[in-house]
């Protein structure tokens, strides 16, 4: 089963930004379904790690549709905030996952921790865990990370989520300012996908 290339896949996310990015990583010949095609809501993410939450989603959507599912759980870890928001990255945006709210919360939390944070290099990383889940219970997963820093303010309109405040290491621009193709070549999701690319 694992030797056969995947030709049909369900992408297990209701996040439009993630859906687009994962679609762009997959071969053009892959037939792709989204959770919206089946009117499926996301399961409760009760895991304590990105990996566990990506597995919860992949298993849930695969079992609901009987399709092979690729699910992602990802987020931003900020060192000075002890790794927060981490697995709660989307939830910092409230019930509607509003990332303007989430970014404001990041800035508030940083200010609470250190009033002079804007004068310092605030280390952070994006983490992405991917799980492919086959009907019947076979699964493969991978993790990708990219190190960087938090910008002093929101910059750029590209990407989604925390992209406008994340500056990758050795770059001067945020993910929000980068062309999408440039971001895709270096980001955490690309790094995680590279490890499972052989299945497609």
In a domain? residue 62: yes
Q: Name the pLDDT band for 1 (thresholds 50, 70, 90).
A: low
Q: What is the largest CA-CA distance in the chain?
A: 55
* pLDDT value at residue 15: 87
Instruction: Look at residue 3 and tell me whether its pLDDT is greater than 80.
Output: no
Residue 185 belongs to domain spanning: 8-199
Contacts of residue 35, defined as CB under 8 A and 6 or more positions apart, other chains included, come to 10, 11, 12, 13, 14, 41, 42, 61
Structurally, how many domains does the chain consist of?
1
pLDDT score at 34? 95
For the chain, give the mean pLDDT. 94
Catalytic residue IDs: 73
The answer to whether residue 2 sits within a structural domain is no
pLDDT, average across residues 95-115: 93
Q: Of 192, 159, 190, give the one whose Cα is nearest residue 51.
A: 192
Model confidence at 2: pLDDT above 70: no
Per the CB < 8 A criterion, the answer to whether 64 and 40 are in contact is yes
Q: What string of DSSP letters covers 7-60?
A: -EEEE----HHHHHHHHHHS-TTSEEEEGGGGTPPPPP---SSHHHHHHHHHHH
Look at residue 16 in the predicted model and tell me its pLDDT. Answer: 87
Residue 3 inside a domain? The answer is no
pTM: 0.93
Whether the pLDDT of residue 97 is over 90: the answer is no
pLDDT in tens, 25-35: 999 999 999 99
Tokens of residue 137, six digits = 């219970």
* Residue 119 counted as domain residue: yes
Instruction: Look at residue 24 and tell me if it is in a domain.
Output: yes
* Residue 108 within a domain: yes
Radius of gyration of the chain (CA): 17
132 in any annotated domain = yes
| pLDDT tens figures, 40-72 | 999 998 999 999 999 999 999 999 999 999 999
| Ramachandran bin of 158, using left for φ above 0, alpha for ψ from -120 to 50, beta for the remaining angles | beta
Is the pLDDT reported for residue 21 higher than 70?
yes
Q: Does residue 1 sit within a domain?
A: no
Which CATH number fits the domain that encloses residue 193?
A: 3.90.950.10
Q: Percent of the chain at pLDDT above 90?
A: 87
């Amino acid at each position: 089963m694992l030797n056969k290339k995947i030709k049909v896949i369900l992408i297990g996310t209701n996040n439009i930004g993630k859906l687009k990015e994962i679609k762009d990583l997959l071969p053009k010949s892959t037939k792709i379904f989204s959770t919206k095609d089946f009117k499926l809501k996301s399961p409760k993410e009760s895991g304590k790690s990105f990996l566990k939450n990506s597995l919860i989603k992949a298993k849930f959507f695969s079992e609901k549709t009987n399709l092979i599912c690729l699910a992602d759980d990802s987020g931003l870890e900020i060192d000075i905030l002890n790794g927060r928001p981490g697995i709660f990255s989307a939830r910092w945006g409230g019930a509607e996952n509003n990332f303007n709210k989430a970014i404001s919360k990041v800035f508030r939390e940083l200010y609470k921790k250190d009033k002079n944070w804007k004068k310092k290099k605030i280390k952070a990383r994006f983490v992405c865990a991917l799980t492919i889940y086959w009907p019947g219970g076979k699964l493969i997963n991978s993790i990708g990370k990219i190190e960087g820093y938090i910008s002093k303010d929101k910059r750029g309109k590209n990407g989604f989520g925390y992209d406008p405040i994340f500056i990758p290491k050795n770059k001067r621009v945020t993910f929000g300012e980068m062309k999408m193709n440039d971001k895709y070549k270096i980001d955490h999701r690309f790094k995680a996908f590279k490890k499972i690319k052989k299945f497609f």
